[in-house]
Amino acid sequence: MTSQSSEHQTSKYINRELSWLEFNERVLEEALDETNPLLERTRFLAISSTNLDEFFMVRVGGLHLLNHRAKSKKDIAGLIPADQLKLLLQRVNRMVIDQYTCFSSIIEKQLNDEGIKRIQPDALSDSHLSYLDDLFENELYPIITPMAVGVDASIPLLRNRALILCARIAPNTKEGTQRYVFIPIPGNMRRIQSIPSNEAFEYILLEDIVHRYVNRFFPGETVEEAVPFRITRNADLAVSEDLASDLLSEMQHVLQERKVSDCVRLEINHEHTSSMITFLQHSLDVQDDYIFSIPGPLDLSSFSQLTDVPSHDHLCWKNQRPQQHPDIDPTASMFDTIRKHDVLLHHPYESYEPIVRLINEAADDPDVIAIKQILYRTSKNSPIVEALKRAARNGKNVTALVELRARFDEERNIEWARDMERDYVQVIYGIKGLKTHAKVCIIIRREPQGIQRYIHFGTGNYNEITARLYTDISFMTCDENYGSDATTFFNTICGYTQPQSYDLISAAPIGLRNKLLSMIETEIEHQRQGRRSHIMCKMNSLADKKIIDALYKASQKGVRIDLNVRGICCLRPGVPGLSDNISVVSIVGRYLEHSRIYYFRHGGSDRVMISSADCMPRNLDRRIELLVNIENTRCKERLIDILQAIFKDNTDARRILPDGTHERISPSNDENAYVSQHELYRKSCEAAELHERSTRSTFEPYRAPTRK
């Protein structure tokens, strides 16, 4: 054990990067879990690969820059960047071994048994070869362009995370020298290429096809070696907002910089020679620790393509159709529905369609005079963006605050921001120095009694696609107190005015952390006065030192604390004298747990809030976020039920241990298995069915009995 590891172990806090890798290990465990359908396990393996790509681009990339600049500032666990990188790379190496053991020894063998077979190049039949000859000549050879390395060893620009074949060409004369050529594998073609088969779904990887025909690119020469590799570039490049008068152009500059940023990882197939690895390492300027020799196909994320293989639905989860909320009449206007009562939706168990319908109705309703909305991420062909454009064309005052710095969605956000501007939507490109992550839509409507505001607050993005995959909360209301707060909030951030005080919301970076700290302190006071106290929180990440210290203090004063943290957790639960009363669980299930819910018993008068923010310094200090107090009793009780279901989970949940590792929770001998995501969907189905029966007409038409 290194001294850095010892320092980390004795710290009150867990390093956030190591904690994230533990989360990705939990994702990988889902791929190993034989109770999950096989193609879903394949998807989890692919997700763990995608996650690791982003981890290198952002977290390792950022630490790499800090280390290069000789920065010695310690993290929350007392580690400087060099120490963190050493520990992370050790842990990543173990994870890569686990991933490929899972793929080669388990997943691929079981897929083969189910008739989904990857054909190796040396096992191709005559019919396969005939098919591939045509495919290569007609579809691959015309579009692939080899890129030779210059005589001065300068290399062409290589795309981040692209699969590339590096070919080593033998000298053509005694005086000549060997040369290297890069052959990019087309990124706009399916990597998994199905090939004709009478018995099963057989496929071959695109790079294996190119490898087989590699000599076609070099007539009269000898290819001594051809090996697939890919590089990962640093994507943690900051926007220089102090120097940029135009955030849009500066963001475009950052996107260009990412294309040529430092290589922070080189992955190469393990069947390579020392000559090949020496050439690539020197050309790409990669240190030994950042080179990964991969014992299988590179980029396991591509294997998610197998999940749409035809005739194998039995290897996937059964379709779960989002339910219609009992309070929403699909035949009635959303304005009428929200006027009757506040509405709280739990996605994906309940449909996201009412939010899309609300904005569509607003776009076409002649009484709607304005729409104000924050857009952080949305879908490629977003119906919400289309509705905002249509509303503007219909003469409504439409303002969209578009966050250009939504990581890895920047190009899409730039594209549809410009598209909205062409339709006269007033677009605001984020806020200088702060990333806008809050989720709110305000619709202003002229009604007989005067101006009425309809508000949607959410914990997730305005994306109807991910709303079927992520668990999130939507809250819709026309309560004037929420309307006043939301309007003041929106106008404050768009007009760069002084922060205001609110009645029912709190906003980062000014008041949100203080609100949570105040609620924790109030719970301590209730405990001191002999009243029962309890804190329940559900979030994606917990890394803020002030919040963690407040929770430690509450635990030491006797407050019971239950936390559900999907990903990063820098708090050490269950440490004697520090966090005895804190338990932390994490759930990685069918759906990505994304909602943020905060509960405080508050002396018996329950306080419940939903938020766009996790408890991380970036959310609380460098982002514009919202924390919304839910006042409606029914909505509040619903949120408490959701939290209780999550903490009751004894099958999908993992318990986070004091050292940051985890163990799976299993039902005891006298317990039934309880899977929170299954139960929450079942309850949504029951509520929808009960509502449908209660509203069905009693006087159905008479039908004579059928006679045989």
Catalytic residues: 437
Structure-block tokens of residue 246: 């135009």
> Coil, strand or helix: which one is 653?
strand
Closest CA to 370 of 343, 399, 393: 399
Positions of E strands within 43-200: 116-118, 147-148, 164-169, 179-184, 192-195
Contact 591, 584 (CB under 8 A): no
The values of phi and psi at residue 477, to 5°, are: -155, 160
CA distance linking residue 574 with residue 443, whole number of Å? 46
Positions of E strands within 185-257: 192-195, 201-205, 223-233
At position 595, the amino acid (one-letter code) is S
Q: How far is CA 214 from CA 166, 218, 682, in A?
A: 10, 8, 54
Structure-block tokens of residue 680: 């929450």
Structure-block tokens of residue 482: 């929420």
Per residue, what are the HEC states of 557-609?
A: CCCEEEEEECCCECECCCCCCCCCCEEEEEECCCCEECCEEEEECHHHCCEEE
CA distance linking residue 398 with residue 420, whole number of Å? 10
Positions of E strands within 196-341: 201-205, 223-233, 263-269, 291-294
At position 258, the amino acid (one-letter code) is R
What Rg value do the Cα atoms of the chain yield, rounded? 28
577: left (phi over 0), alpha (psi -120 to 50) or beta: left
CA distance linking residue 389 with residue 409, whole number of Å? 20
Place of tokens 């190496």: 93
Q: Spell out a b/e string for 110-138, using b for 16 or more CB atoms within 10 Å of the CB, else e.
A: ebeebebbbbeeeebeeebeebbeebbee
Structure-block tokens of residue 319: 């379709």
**Most distant pair of Cα atoms in the chain: their distance:** 98
At position 509, the amino acid (one-letter code) is P
Length of the chain: 708
Place of tokens 């009693």: 698
Verify cis geometry, omega within 30 degrees of 0, for the bond prior to 354: no
At position 396, the amino acid (one-letter code) is K
